[in-house]
Amino acid sequence: MLSAPGGRSAEARRSADLLLQAARLASVRVADFRETYFPYLGHELKTYMAQLGSELKPDVIFTHWRKDLHQDHRTIGELTWNCFRNHLILEYEIPKWDGDMGRPNVFMPLGRTLCERKVDHLLEAFPSQTDKDWFTGETFWSLLRLRGMEARSSSGYAEAFYCRKLVLN
């Protein structure tokens, strides 16, 4: 997480710890860049991301969708591509007021139990977001169901991503 003022830093770390419990190798870093100003912090952000790019060699990178209308999300999506050019990058979507939902091209069908864990995790791990009227279980279930329908998932649910470049060996 690149912007974690106050209690959001603890949220980010707790969420990562919960998600990565079974990971063989994990590196969690939380920075404190000024939120909502990312487009104006380009030099500092790119320097930070370039440092990550020289230190880390991940198998897959999850980042914000490059057309996300939230300025911080969009900036991070762009910088991820600048600094990790030879990696599999999957861009995720975040439902919010901006109405910037698109047409993802990579789908991962999920069973209902995993969806329950995902929705529960989001609601429990990020209490700072609960003041937003879109941050509800219904919103997350709706998106999982919509993407499941698009993927023709046998469970009816799926996660969706955008992939610009996929290299098959």
Please give the domain boundaries of the chain with CATH numbers for all domains.
7-162 (3.40.50.10320)
Task: Compute CA distances 61 → 3, 77, 129, 151, whole Å.
Answer: 18, 11, 24, 22
Q: Does residue 164 contact residue 106 with C-beta atoms inside 8 Å?
A: no
Q: Consecutive sets of 10 residues in the chain, 169 residues long: mean pLDDT of each? A: 70 83 77 84 91 88 92 92 92 90 96 97 91 94 98 98 91
**pTM of the predicted protein model:** 0.88
pLDDT of residue 137: 97
pLDDT of residue 6: 66
